[in-house]
Homo-oligomer: A and B are copies of this chain.
Amino acid sequence: MQTEEEILKIKKVKNTAVRTVVLRHLLSLEKAQSLKDIENALPYMDRSSIFRTLKTFEENKVIHSIEDGSGMTKYAVCAEGCNCDPKDLHYHFYCTNCDKTFCLFDVPIPNIQLPKNFKLQQANMVVKGLCDNCNR
């Protein structure tokens, strides 16, 4: 597992106090987080600073965003070597019971045969249902 500093260096994002704290926080969690989640977890940090940090991270492929339909965009740290290309696509799982969102890095995404002349750039694939913890 890479450290915050290593990741920021690789992705050429300048290391600041806010960025280190936000990235460390994201790395410490296994679930995708919303801006509100992060705000709540780091109450001494300013919302707009976190917001701009997330934007910077996303632009520089440090994290990727997920629209899980909960009304809040969620963010998760990109896997090592991820470049946010179609090849890095993976499903996300949104638990309708506990409202948590997971990156399913291990579930393969099949080739999608688009209609003629359509060009694939990215995707937002969210599978919804019950997570293992809620499915009892």
Q: Mark A48-73, 1 if CB is under 8 A from B, else 0.
A: 00000000000000000001110000
Q: Are B104 and A114 in contact, CB atoms less than 8 angstroms apart?
A: yes
Interface check A106, CB cutoff 8 A = yes
Inside 8 A of A96's CB, which chain B residues have their CB? 121-122
Complex partner residue of A115 from B69, B106, B115, B123, CB under 8 angstroms: B106
Nearest B-chain residue to A117, judged by Cβ = B132
Assembly CA distance A119 to B98 (angstroms): 13
Interface check A43, CB cutoff 8 A = no
Interface check A44, CB cutoff 8 A = no
Inside 8 A of A129's CB, which chain B residues have their CB? 114, 118-122
Inside 8 A of A116's CB, which chain B residues have their CB? 132
Assembly CA distance A114 to B129 (angstroms): 10
- Extra contacts besides A112-B127, A119-B130 (4): CB < 8 Å: A67-B126, A96-B121, A117-B135, A123-B128
